[in-house]
């Protein structure tokens, strides 16, 4: 039984990963963000579709979802440098309050009116309205950031989006704490108070921040004694998992706590943590794929009454209007740049895990309130949030892409790896080095090394084909024997060529070759069939040219 269970889970993970990749490929061909493909595949294999992934499977994979949320939170925190908040703190705060409160009010009022028309009970309708408004204020950071990373976006709008979606969880949880307490007071008389609900919400928020801060400082301290990237990766994943475990044990927000770990690390050790964030982001793609496929599989739309679809439509429209109008108002008041004012709202339409999680909690708390025959207030909330999440998860990423496209920020987040992937060896090869002939005297060889800044000199035959190399290490023992300088030749001390590069080889591949055999330079030939020398690839010179090109491209985007 145990073995069968493991096989079942592994098979589901395989289906989610492979299916998600195929879905992403199809939707990218349609110029739609890949995250939409992940979610659609999830819907198709989930309860709404063919039922290949059952609710029990999703429940069994809850620890994986928490791990994915933890990785997402950690990477989001890594984007939040303290300098950003010093420069844009007021702007971020006003936009956050604007979009959150406007959404809360618009969705809350509209939902109240619609539910009243159905149940004709103002108390139940108002309770539903405040809960819907609070849940609607949440923005999904995962799918939004996936679009930013997919299209390598960078700029003032991208920076603002990252900050807003990172902080939005805290605001949504605070509003939900207020809304749920009001709903409880309206529908019960058991002495529940707003103060008690706020105290509980405050514990969740500040507890998550404190937990993340502790683990962040611990991770920073341990990384000081682990210079190797592999060990840093291992200890970082261990700390993130411990932080997730502590957050789950104390019912704290996983994203907020791991995001704090990332914030602490990137601000206390920016240089030491840079490579770590790059490595974690490089292997996080399969984790994202499975996470979003499971998000789609979790969305159940069967058995929903027709009138709830009207509530769904109104919720989506009012939430979108609230996000846009509130962001514009906050950006206008704070003096934000025009792209931020005009485009921020459409970039944060996505609704995800936090909203679904809050709806599940609300459904448990309000299950006893009957709206219409056979449907409780709790059922109505979870049905509506499920349907709206599906709708906005399908349109949200597309609008995020539209926003960063209009702002001209797509493709601006260029890295050294991007440049190296485009370059060939021929773009950076040093052709100024004069090769040594086989009959060159050692004295002339030493003179060449003193004149040129290189560790490797190629030795060529009369026809220009490379036959060996001379390195500085080979000369060390002969430098103390000047009597040999006038009779030893290059052919006497050279080493046969065991490795060389071709001019058309990809630069990133060539650099990896140098690193794997632990040398700083290698000769470059025209092609595999023709060993005629074209120059020498020196890893220092190559990286200097790559960085110069990177700076040129980044300057061109400003």
Give residue-wise pLDDT tens across range 157-197.
888 888 888 777 777 777 776 776 676 666 664 444 556 65
What pLDDT is stored for residue 191 in this prediction? 46
Check whether domain 418-556 has CATH 3.10.580.10, yes or no:
yes
CATH T-level assignment (fold) for domain 14-413: Na+/H+ antiporter like fold (1.20.1530)
Render the burial of 443-473: b for 16+ CB within 10 Å, e for the rest: eebeebbeeeebbbbbbbbeeeebbbbbbee
Residue range(s) occupied by CATH 3.10.580.10 in the chain: 418-556
Cα–Cα distances (Å) from 428 to 78, 81, 194, 503, 533, in that order, read 32, 34, 66, 10, 15
Sheet of 436-437: strand order equals 436-437, 456-460, 466-471
What pLDDT is stored for residue 106 in this prediction? 93
Q: Which two tokens stand for residue 477?
A: 């023992």
What pLDDT is stored for residue 497 in this prediction? 66
Residue range(s) occupied by CATH 1.20.1530.20 in the chain: 14-413
Q: Quick count: other Cβ atoms within 10 Å of Cβ 373?
A: 5
Helix axes 377-406, 141-150, angle to 10 degrees: 20
What pLDDT is stored for residue 5 in this prediction? 42
Beta-ladder partners of 358: none
Phi, psi angles (nearest 5°) of residue 107: -70, -40
pTM higher than 0.85: no
Sheet of 521-525: strand order equals 501-502, 521-525, 533-538
Secondary element (H or E) of residue 426: helix 425-428
Over its length of 558 residues, how does the chain's per-residue pLDDT go in tens digits?
Answer: 344 444 478 888 899 999 989 988 887 787 666 777 787 888 888 877 888 888 888 888 888 888 988 887 788 778 777 776 676 677 888 888 888 899 999 999 999 999 888 888 887 888 888 888 888 888 877 778 888 888 888 888 888 888 888 777 777 777 776 776 676 666 664 444 556 656 766 777 788 889 999 999 999 888 888 777 678 888 899 999 999 999 889 888 787 788 889 889 988 888 888 888 888 887 888 887 888 788 778 766 666 677 888 888 999 999 999 999 999 998 888 888 888 888 898 888 887 666 766 776 666 566 667 777 667 777 788 778 877 877 887 788 889 899 988 888 887 767 777 777 778 888 888 777 777 777 777 777 777 666 666 667 777 777 767 777 776 666 666 666 676 667 777 667 777 766 778 888 888 888 888 777 777 777 777 776 767 777 778 778 888 888 887 777 666 555
Do residues 394 and 40 lie in contact, with contact meaning Cβ atoms separated by under 8 Å? yes
What pLDDT is stored for residue 479 in this prediction? 64
Q: Quick count: other Cβ atoms within 10 Å of Cβ 287?
A: 18
């Amino acid at each position: 039984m145990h073995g069968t269970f493991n096989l079942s889970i592994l098979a589901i993970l395989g289906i989610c990963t492979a299916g998600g990749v195929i879905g992403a490929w199809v939707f990218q061909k349609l110029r739609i963000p890949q995250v939409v493909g992940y979610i659609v595949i999830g819907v198709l294999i989930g309860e709404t579709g063919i039922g290949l992934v059952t609710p029990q499977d999703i429940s069994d994979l809850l620890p994986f979802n928490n791990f994915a949320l933890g990785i997402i939170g950690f990477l989001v925190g890594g984007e939040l440098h303290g300098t950003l908040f010093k420069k844009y703190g007021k702007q971020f705060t006003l936009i956050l309050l604007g979009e959150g409160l406007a959404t809360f009010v618009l969705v809350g009022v509209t939902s109240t009116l619609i539910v009243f028309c159905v149940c004709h009970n103002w108390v139940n309708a108002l309770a539903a309205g405040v809960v819907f408004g609070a849940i609607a204020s949440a923005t999904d950071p995962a799918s939004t950031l996936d679009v930013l990373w997919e299209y390598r976006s960078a700029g003032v709008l991208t920076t603002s989006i990252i900050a807003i979606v990172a902080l939005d969880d805290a605001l949504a949880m605070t509003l939900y704490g207020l809304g749920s307490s009001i709903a409880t007071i309206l529908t019960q008389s058991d002495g529940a108070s707003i103060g008690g609900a706020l105290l509980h919400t405050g514990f969740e928020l500040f507890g998550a921040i404190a937990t993340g801060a502790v683990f962040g400082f611990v991770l920073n301290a341990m990384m000081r004694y682990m210079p190797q990237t592999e060990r840093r990766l291992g200890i970082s994943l261990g700390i993130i998992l411990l932080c997730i475990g502590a957050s789950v044990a104390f019912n704290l927000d996983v994203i907020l706590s791991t995001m704090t770990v990332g914030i602490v690390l990137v601000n206390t050790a920016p240089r030491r943590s840079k490579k770590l964030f790059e490595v974690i982001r490089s292997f996080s793609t399969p984790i994202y794929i499975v996470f979003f496929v499971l998000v789609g599989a979790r969305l159940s739309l069967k058995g929903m009454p027709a009138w709830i679809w009207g509530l769904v439509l109104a919720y989506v429209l009012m939430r979108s209007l609230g996000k846009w109008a509130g962001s514009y108002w906050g950006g206008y008041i704070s003096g934000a740049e025009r792209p931020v004012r005009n485009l921020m709202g459409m970039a944060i339409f996505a609704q995800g895990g936090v909203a679904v999680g809050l709806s599940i909690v609300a459904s448990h708390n309000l299950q006893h309130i009957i709206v219409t025959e056979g449907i409780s207030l709790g059922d109505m909330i979870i049905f509506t949030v499920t349907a709206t999440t599906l709708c906005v998860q399908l349109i949200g990423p597309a609008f995020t892409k539209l926003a960063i496209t209009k702002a001209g920020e797509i493709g601006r987040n260029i890295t050294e790896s991007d440049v190296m992937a485009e370059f060939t060896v021929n773009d950076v090869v040093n052709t100024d080095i004069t090769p040594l002939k086989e009959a060159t005297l050692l004295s002339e060889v030493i003179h060449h090394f003193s004149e040129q800044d290189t560790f490797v000199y190629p030795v060529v035959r009369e026809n220009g084909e490379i036959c060996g190399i001379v390195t500085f290490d080979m000369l060390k023992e002969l430098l103390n024997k000047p009597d040999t300088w006038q009779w030893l030749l290059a052919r006497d001390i050279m080493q046969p060529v065991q490795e060389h590069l071709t001019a058309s080889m990809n630069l990133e591949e060539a650099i990896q070759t140098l690193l794997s055999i632990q040398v700083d330079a290698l000769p470059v030939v025209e092609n595999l069939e023709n060993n005629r020398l074209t120059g020498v690839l020196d890893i220092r010179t190559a990286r200097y040219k790559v960085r110069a090109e990177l700076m040129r491209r980044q300057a061109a985007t400003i």
